[in-house]
Amino acid sequence: MNAIKPSLASRLSTKSPWLYRINAGSCNGCDVELATTAIIPRYDVERLGCQYCGSPKHADIVLITGPLTARVKDKVLRLFDEIPEPKVTVAVGVCPISGGVFRESYAIAGPLDKYIPIDVNIPGCPPRPQAIIEGIAKAIAVWQSRI
């Protein structure tokens, strides 16, 4: 595939990014922002073709929230392996980057990029909906170079 000018099929494919949320021990703040971003009419991300899917097997863009606690680490890694290629990973909130308010806790196995390649970081505690939408748009640009 040409990296400079992607093929037509690849450009059309990026109009249909399906989102999947993984909660890696988040406090739910970022999850509420994610749900709000997609579901309420004001920030409708379906106009970008996005759709939340219930199954990791249908996902294209993975949104991971939370600091990756020791308890959920194995489950998160297993879920990540269930997502078919090509996929893009987005870390939502400050927790996956540094642990946020939970940093240096004995219960934290993070930071997340020790285990999973992260493509886009959306910092914030929690990030604003606009920031999340911008992060998804950047993830779509990354995804275009892969599909």
Residue 74 engages other proteins in binding (rule: CB under 8 A): no
- Pair 64, 116: CB distance under 8 Å: yes
Distances (CA, A) of 3 to 16, 113, 142, 145: 20, 25, 11, 6
Beta bridge partners of residue 121, listed in sequence order: 91
Is 119 in contact with 89 (CB distance < 8 Å)?
yes
Q: Which distant-in-sequence residues (6+ apart) come within 8 Å of 72 by Cβ?
A: 23, 24, 25, 66
53 lies in the site for other proteins, by CB under 8 A: yes
Rounded to a whole number of angstroms, the minimum distance from the CB of residue 43 to other proteins is 9
Stretch of residues binding other proteins (CB under 8 A), selected from 71-79, 81-89, 97-105, 111-119: 81-89
**Is residue 105 involved in binding other proteins (CB under 8 A)?**
no
- 23, 31 Cβ separation under 8 angstroms: yes
Residue of the chain from 28, 32, 57, 101 that contacts other proteins (CB under 8 A): 57
- Least distance (Å) between residue 106 CB and other proteins: 33
| Contact indicator for 22, 52 with CB cutoff of 8 Å | no
Q: How far is the CB of 42 from other proteins (least distance, A)?
A: 9
CB of 108 to other proteins, least distance (A): 28
Return the range that interacts with other proteins (CB under 8 A); candidates 39-47, 97-105, 109-117, 130-138.
39-47
